[in-house]
Amino acid sequence: MIAWNTDANTIKLKDLDDLERHIVYNQSIRTYLKTDENDCKYFIVAPKGFGKTLLLKAKSKQYRAKSGFKCIPVNDLSERLVELDTHFSIKELNKYKRIDVWRMIWTLALHLLIVQNLMPEKLPKKLEPLLGKAKKLKDILFCILEDRNKIHKYYNLVFKELSPVFEGLTSQVAVFIDNVDEAFDKHVGDTYYDLQKAKKNHVLSPWVWINAQIGLREAVKNLCEANRHIKIFASIRSEAYALVNSSTVLQDLNYTTELNYTDEELRDIFIRNINKTATRDLVKPKAKEALVRFLGFDEIEHRFVRNEYGRKRKENVFDFILRHSFRRPREIVAIGASICYGIKANNRTATAIR
């Protein structure tokens, strides 16, 4: 894996040959990546920029190395959803703000995803016009939403004809789903707020973004509990997960890993990227201390704060970087990337870093 990579979507299977080199482990991450027969950590939860995609892909890699598992998607480590070009009418919006509706949509979509990829001959004839050649989750979801007036009909048909198929499933199946939040970003992003300012946001709602993710969580949990041969792993934004209102929320912690990093773990992420940095991009390649190799120094003076002797106070340069961030891994790596590729090695002074 290249140094200072801020986009885990570019990571391929071969990039994760040595997980220990690329991932900073803490107890929650070790538990999440433990892929034994009792693995039920289906959801990885964090804000944007916390490394959900990297860990989901690492988990996918481990399942693909296990014998007996059929993984979806077949040719990628995870399926990344993209923004859906689906528009709800004023009348429809209240319906699609509801968790129960999204639970039904995801239940339908996940059944069809597994059938289309692993046993297409089992697809009910009545559903062929709905799906066409769609095999990816984003395409299946789009097909369902485009024909959304028939969702109840399709849902009942799937349960009637596919439930026996799933109950008799003996193959081990693992599904990996990422970026569900981005599929519905227009309901919370710039599009929503721009239309809100123009008083034209009546067909958008943050509750679509929230409950689409919570509905996925419920559909996955129900499907995996009903069939122990199926494991579905997904990333969920913590802003949506925090609004889960369930009588079983404490029990559901068994299914969830919430990502958090200490300052030392963030430092470790920064140092690991220095260790992967090409020699030509280092200031002092032979120095023992990683920060000195990368920057030429490991302390930086405050511009204004002085000690009791009138001298400018100094702080560790990583502490300085951390202080100018929101303590998110992607942010820390992005700062490193801007230094590595934006400031030539012989120009890396304290002034340039500031």
CB 154 within 8 A of CB 211: no
Which are the contacts of 37, defined by CB distance < 8 A and separation ≥ 6? none
The confidence score (pLDDT) of residue 95 equals 92
Rg (CA), the chain: 24
Give the number of other Cβ atoms within 10 Å of residue 262's Cβ: 11
The confidence score (pLDDT) of residue 185 equals 85
- What stretches in the chain show pLDDT beneath 50? 198
The confidence score (pLDDT) of residue 248 equals 64
The confidence score (pLDDT) of residue 84 equals 85
pLDDT in tens, 25-68: 999 999 999 998 899 999 999 999 999 999 999 999 999 988 88
Separation of alpha carbons 45 and 350, rounded Å: 36
pTM: 0.90
The confidence score (pLDDT) of residue 88 equals 86
| 3-state SS record for the chain | CCCCCCCHHHCCHHHHCCHHHHCCCCHHHHHHCCCCCCCCCCEEEECCCCCHHHHHHHHHHHHHHCCCEEEECCCCCCEECCCCCCCCCHHHHCHHHCHHHHHHHHHHHHHHHHHHHHCHHHCCHHHHHHHCCCCCHHHHHHHHHHCHHHHHHHHHHHHHHHHHHHHCCCCEEEEEEECHHHHCHHHCCHHHHHHHHCCCCCCCCHHHHHHHHHHHHHHHHHHHHHCCCEEEEEEEEHHHHCCCCCCCCCHHHHHEEECCCCHHHHHHHHHHHHHCCCHHHCCCCCCCCHHHHHHCCCEEEEEEEECCCCCEEEEEHHHHHHHCCCCCHHHHHHHHHHHHHHCCHHHCCHHHHC
The confidence score (pLDDT) of residue 195 equals 60
The confidence score (pLDDT) of residue 69 equals 92
